[in-house]
Amino acid sequence: MSEKIVPKRVYFTIFGLLIGFTLLTVWVASRDWGAFNTIIALTIAVTKALLVALWFMHIKYSNRLTQLVVASGLFWLVIMVALTLFDYRTRSMGR
């Protein structure tokens, strides 16, 4: 029951994907996708963050408790952003 040792091959694969997504995000930004600009950029960023968290930070191999704690942290972050936006985005309504 020793700690899970992730093979080096996995790290190199994730590294390659991260570099690929970085170049993709710059290429995507060089064209205008209208209202989707930010959505595309954020989708790529979230994907990269997940790659780092799951494999580099070993969340994929962690126990359930750690995974639950991390997920709940992200949930609280979403609450902070979403409820703040509910406020600011609706302030000019009805004027």
86 binds other proteins (CB under 8 A): no
Of the residues 35, 80, 86, 94, which one makes contact with other proteins according to CB under 8 A: 80
Question: Which residue's entry shows tokens 């700690």?
Answer: 3
Q: How far is the CB of 27 from other proteins (least distance, A)?
A: 10
Residue type for position 76: W
Site string for other proteins, 19-48 (x = CB under 8 A): x--x--xx--xxxx----x---xx-xx--x
Query: DSSP code of 47?
Result: H
Q: How many residues does the chain have?
A: 95
- SS3 label, residue 88: helix
